[in-house]
Structure 1
Amino acid sequence: MSHEIRTPLNSIFNVFEQTEISTSNSYGGTGMGLTIIKQLIEAQGGSINVKSKIGEGSTFRFTLLFGKTNIEVEQSIEIPKLDSKIKNRSVLVAGDIPLNQLLIKIILNDFGFEHEVVENGKIAIEKLQTNTHDIILMDLQMPEMNGFEAAEYIRKTLKSKIQFSALTADVTTVDISKCKEFAMDDYISKPIDENLIYIKIMELVKK
């Protein structure tokens, strides 16, 4: 006779946690999905909770507060069709925040891009000297060597013309002009949007 181990309900929001051992055996999964959702909601000042009854189901509720705006909603971005030639491109990503690393890995996997993710600009430079990559997506704020320092080294010392896009949460005039000053080809604003990343990568490849 097998015994199933059940954990407290709220623990399902913990990393690598599932309510029963049989869940992963039967359905797979890592137990990361609800952790990511909880972190995203809390990062925006919200909260999430769950109610559940065995044999009946579970109900998840979350709360987020947003200010009202009179700005008209922009039309949805049209996503180009997947191109097999573009899918084979290799993307090097540099960023030190684990949640962002995980999200961008999932996005690049979904679109079929080959990719490698590192923690800072110094490691990114080391990878460029030993591995072949077509595009760099690099966070501007990182420990040890930030995105601007890495970009300067890649352009001036390595003399590399690799397509380069910054990942930044500070989309100001100063920040954008500084990206151009360091010979970056483009920038992607955070929070990360999978459709925008795909479009930006396609634009970089076509250059």
Structure 2
Amino acid sequence: MPHHQDETRAAYDGVVELYASMFADHRLETQPFARAMIATFAELVRATGNPRAADVGCGPGHLTAMLHDLGLDAFGLDLSPGMVGHARRTRPRLRFEQARMEALPVEDGALGGVLAHYSVIHTPPEELPALLAEQARVLAPGGLLLVSFFGTEDPDPVRFDHKVAPAYSWPADRLAGLLAEAGLPVFARLLHDPASQRGFLDAHLLARRS
């Protein structure tokens, strides 16, 4: 496992209860655009006829539960054993496993959808193509990927000190290009007001496995 993943795992293990108290009981109640994109994603996944969906980087499992409530056969995967343990304790009817996003414990072409909600942000730019290829691998043809991230208007990714672990913001066009190269052409995007005082945008790209 790359050293940065060890650091990210340890960092999230150290903030499980704080992170869960901030996010796990709210289901994006203050983020209407994100809620709308996730609801659209779930509707489109249901329309494929394959409701099986992975919430990769699921954290405490709040969005896995949201996907379940939206009619998907959703399960959560996360690098942090602390987050997985919290999700299992608080949502025992759902399935959660520890896993790396670059090596998902899912068979080829098995899923109708993958949700990556701010979970690719800690991946260094040079490693992101392999991660996206793995999302494409587990999706059935016509399956959907919704990736949300911090957007920047700079021409290149910007490394910054995230509150938990070092992270990267991305120009939306650059990330959309990487998705297309992975066989996941983007057909819808939403960029809106800065997500933080840093001035990054909230960015959401919806792609379909070709």
TM-score (norm 1): 0.40
Higher RCO, Cα 8 Å, sep 6+: 2
Higher strand share: 2
User: Over alpha carbons, which structure has the higher Rg?
Assistant: 1
